[in-house]
A and B are shown apart, each in its own frame.
Chain A
Amino acid sequence: MNYMDEFRDRDVVLGYAAQIRKLSEQRPEPMAFMEVCGTHTMSIYQYGIRSLLPEGVRLISGPGCPVCVTPNRYIDRAIAISRLSDTIITTFGDMLRVPGSSSSLMEERARGADVRIVYSPLDAVAIARKNPCKRVVFLGVGFETTAPAIAASILAATGDGLANYLVLAAHKTIPLPMELLSSDPELKIDGYICPAHVSAIIGANAFRGLAEQRGVPCVVTGFEPADVMQGVEMLVRQVVEGKSRVENQYSRVVTWEGNCKAQSVLAQVFSVCDAEWRGIGVIPGSGLEIAADYAAYDAEKVLPVSVEETREHQGCRCGDILRGKVSPFDCPLFDRACTPESPVGACMVSSEGTCAAAYKYGR
């Protein structure tokens, strides 16, 4: 058992496809399910999942890519910080290519800024340890999945007495935007393919309000094709039976309570704040900022920089795409002015972005 091949098995996948088809015949109206995790988006495209579903079952991509939902203003601030002397920017790779209002970190790197890709915020702490005469700023973006590791990096820096490690935090939590989108009459979401990695941290219980009070079926779903197909089958079944509850398809990884240790680290280092989402706007209480006790690690507070006036890109439909209102193919820039080589909007930049996935696998 290698936990991969079994979950990619053609017969298993096609078995779910047949069940979905049969179930969906019991309901004349079409159904639309939203995934809110970039890895789901990629998986759905990579395995050609849409080609296996009947016409009446539609999958829409929501605001699930941490890079895509990061607003221009944050990128512009990171760029301004990268231009300071004796400053090393450390980041997950995808942030490098996101266009800000007038530049990107990749362009700044080509001009001489010290921008380094790391795989973990603890690597950034190690860089800070090695470079005591420079300040090392980690770009903390992402959902509940990456936030605990970033909280842990701040605790590690505290333990080491490191004064030159900073985090530019823009963390977001996913349940609130899911509630917001579920009440959008234009979208008519019949159910959520709930994120797998996020749920491993916050637990499947986090979606109870959505399912039980708002009546939106929720299934926490894994990433392999058989996971996704089973998740969709469970959602279709709930819709057909008129049910609305949280189910956990991904019980081999996700528990109902989640990872309590990670949750307590999050509560220790971060406090809840309002957050701006690209394309959606400010959602109260949907963000995490560095708590007052750890303000010395907050790049936004410690490094006052003048940030250029935010410019949005003309014609870019990223906002509507992140809300699931249009597909990449409806955007006038897609595959014309906006390609992975010269991305206009964030959804094309990130490898988890809806447009990048559609460009790579879906055209």
Chain B
Amino acid sequence: MDNDLILLGHGSGGKLSHQLLSDLVIPTLSGIPPAGQNDAAVVTHNGQRFAFTTDSYVVDPLFFPGGNIGCLAVNGTINDLAMMGARPLYMSVGLIMEEGFSRAELKEILDSMRAAADGAGVAIVTGDTKVVPRGKADRIFINTSGVGVIEHDLAIGGNCARPGDRVLINGAIGDHGIAVMAKREGLDLESDIRSDCAALNGLVEEILKEGDAVHVLRDPTRGGVATTLKEIALQSRVGITLQERALPYNGAVKGVCAILGLDPLYVANEGKILVVAAPQAADALLERMRSHPLGREAAIIGEVTGEDDRGRLEIDTVSGGTRAVEMLAGEQLPRIC
């Protein structure tokens, strides 16, 4: 087998992506303080801590129920900053467009970027535009970078989960991935599954009022809830057990997943946050999250069971069985029969 080629799986956010980063990208670019496996780097200048992040968006389709590539690009970067407990301030936008891309569609995308940034109180302050010949890119790719300020001294990160902690989520899982897939594949689902694309910085501000009870904030995007929690378990060297019965699902998403043979635990989200917090604060935190518009369906979905170097993630299934949960490997593909 040939290992000289970059495959689509290297961009899936799962294990292949991790390998590419740790084997090639990070060692070659060393000298840059890595963000670890966190969503953004935290840098300190003159005693002030900042979070800094960048992300590129190459989604197909560009427009899907509940959003488009524009609000995705703005909210995604805002959320990466918010997950570090930062208050997002400024953003840049880089557009790479294919010759022949529709001006009207560009306008719609830009409008939605502006609305998302305004809604989250973030200023788009710089940018860049490139056009490549037809066929050299797929209509439009967007890169956004963002910087935010960290105005507290809480230690929040993927390696801060502790035995006894509770795991919370702010609502139903899998909506974004299924909405995009349904649109992309032309699945006529006759359901109103919409992307959950949203900026989470307001909800994070609310969550941070629980102070040092908050240990980990993560948005389970590519690879879904399972991959994100597995990363947290490995980084913190703890075991985590989920209660499948407690996981909030939108019924239509569950149905589509059952038909296609997909596991909603691995489906991408764009407006969800996983919080790992001290047990004594869990109920108060749940109330706090439910009081925010983006956390109405928040739930406590599991707990950190103990120290575990192998980062074991388990789920007690709805049916009473127990199984291990691993990271997403490659792409989730619908089953054959």
Fill in one digit per residue for B229-270: 1 if any A CB lies within 8 Å of its CB, else 0: 000000000000000010000010011001001010000000
Binds A, one of B170-178, B294-302, B320-328: B320-328
**CB–CB A10/B320 < 8 A:** yes
List chain A positions with a Cβ less than 8 A from chain B: 2, 4-5, 8-10, 13-14, 17, 38-39, 42, 45-52, 66-67, 92-94, 96-97, 99, 102-104, 106-107, 110-111, 117, 119, 141-143, 145-146, 197-198, 225-226, 229, 339-342, 350-352, 359-363
Contacting residues, chain B, for A141 (C-beta < 8 A): 336
Shortest 8 CB-CB contacts between residues of A and residues of B: A48-B321, A340-B329, A93-B333, A145-B337, A225-B319, A48-B323, A13-B319, A10-B320
12 A-B pairs, CB-CB below 8 angstroms?
A4-B258, A8-B317, A47-B321, A96-B333, A103-B1, A107-B1, A111-B5, A146-B337, A340-B330, A359-B326, A361-B326, A363-B324
Q: Within the assembled complex, what's the spacing in Å between the Cα atoms of A130 and B166?
A: 53
Determine whether the beta carbon of A107 is less than 8 Å from that of B337: no
Residue of B at shortest CB range from A38? B335
Query: Is B1 a contact of A13 with CB atoms below 8 Å?
Result: no
Q: Which residues of A contact B254 (CB under 8 A)?
A: 4
Given A4-B254, A14-B320, A341 and B336 touching (CB < 8 A)?
no
B104: Cβ under 8 A from any A Cβ: no
Bound together, the chains give a CA A342 to CA B2 distance in angstroms of 11
Report B-chain residues with C-beta under 8 Å of the C-beta of A111: 5
Question: CA–CA, A363 to B315, complex, Å?
Answer: 13
B15 in contact (CB, < 8 A): yes
Please report which residues of chain B, range 301-319, place their CB below 8 angstroms from some CB of chain A when the two chains form the complex.
315, 317-319
Closest to B258 in A: A4
Q: Is B334 in the interface zone, CB < 8 Å from A?
A: yes
14 extra interchain contacts, Cβ-Cβ under 8 A, other than A8-B317, A14-B320, A339-B15?
A: A10-B318, A38-B335, A42-B335, A46-B317, A47-B319, A48-B323, A49-B319, A92-B336, A103-B2, A106-B7, A106-B8, A106-B9, A225-B319, A341-B16
Q: Whole-angstrom distance from the CB of A150 to the nearest CB of chain B?
A: 11
**Which one, B255, B258, B263, B336, contacts A146 given CB within 8 A?**
B336
Q: What's the nearest-Cβ distance from chain A to residue B330, in Å?
A: 6
- A51 CB to closest chain B CB (Å) equals 5
**B29 within 8 Å of A (CB atoms):** no
- Chain B neighbourhood of A39, CB < 8 A: 261, 335, 337
B185 interface hit (Cβ, 8 Å):
yes
Looking at the assembled complex, report how far the CB atom of B134 sits from the nearest CB atom of chain A, in whole angstroms: 18
Task: Given A94-B336, A107-B1, A111-B5, verify A362-B323 contact (CB < 8 Å).
Answer: yes
| Partner among A92, A146, A226 whose Cβ is within 8 Å of the Cβ of B319 | A226
On chain A, the residues within 8 Å of B6 by CB distance are: 110
In chain B, what residue has the closest Cβ to A352?
B335
How distant is the Cα of A94 from the Cα of B245 in the complex, in angstroms?
30
B125 at interface (Cβ–Cβ under 8 A)? Answer: no
Interface contact A110-B324, CB-CB below 8 Å:
no
In the assembled complex, which residues on chain B have CB atoms less than 8 Å from the CB atom of A67?
336
Complex Cα distance, B1 from A99, in Å, reads 8
Decide if the interface of chain B is mainly helix, strand, loop or mixed: loop
Residues of A within 8 A of B330 (CB): 97, 340-341
Cα A50 to Cα B329 in complex, Å, equals 23
A234 → chain B, closest Cβ, in Å? 18
- Within the complex, the shortest CB–CB distance from A355 to chain B, in Å, comes to 11
Task: Check A110–B337 contact: CB distance below 8 A.
Answer: no
| Nearest-CB residue, chain B, relative to A50 | B321
- Structural contact, A107 and B2, CB atoms closer than 8 A: yes
Q: Does B32 contact A (CB under 8 A)?
A: no
> Counting CB contacts under 8 A, is B280 at the interface?
no
List B contacts of A351 (CB < 8 A): 261, 332-333, 335
Give A67 to B337 CA distance when docked, in angstroms. 10
Q: A4-B255, A46-B263, A363-B324 are in contact. Are A119 and B334 (CB under 8 A)?
A: yes
- List the B side residues contacting A143 at CB < 8 Å: 337
On whether the beta carbons of B323 and A46 are closer than 8 Å, the reply is yes
B187 at the interface (CB under 8 A from A): yes
Q: How far is the CB of A19 from chain B (nearest CB, A)?
A: 14
> Is the CB of B22 closer than 8 A to any CB of chain A?
no
Q: Is B19 an interface residue (CB 8 A)?
A: yes
Contact across chains for A45 and B323 when beta carbons are under 8 A apart: yes
Interface residues of B in 1-46 (CB under 8 A from A): 1-2, 5-9, 14-16, 19
Docked Cα-Cα span, A163 to B270, in Å, equals 44
B261 and A47 contact, CB distance less than 8 A: no
Closest Cβ–Cβ distance, residue B333 to chain A (whole Å) = 3
- Which of chain B's residues has its CB closest to A145's CB? B337
Q: How far is the CA of A95 from the CA of B322 in the complex (A)?
A: 30
State A110–B3 Cα separation when bound (angstroms): 11
B335 — which chain A residues lie within 8 A by C-beta?
38-39, 42, 94, 351-352
Complex Cα gap A145–B320 (Å): 30
Q: How far is the CB of A98 from chain B (nearest CB, A)?
A: 12
List the A side residues contacting B7 at CB < 8 Å: 106-107, 110
Say how far A95's CB is from chain B's closest CB, in angstroms: 8
With a cutoff of 8 Å between Cβ atoms, the chain B residues found around residue A47 in the complex are 317-319, 321, 323
Q: How far is the CB of B178 from chain A (nearest CB, A)?
A: 14
A342 CB contact (under 8 Å) in B1, B14, B185, B320: B1
Report the bound CA distance from A198 to B337 in whole Å.
9
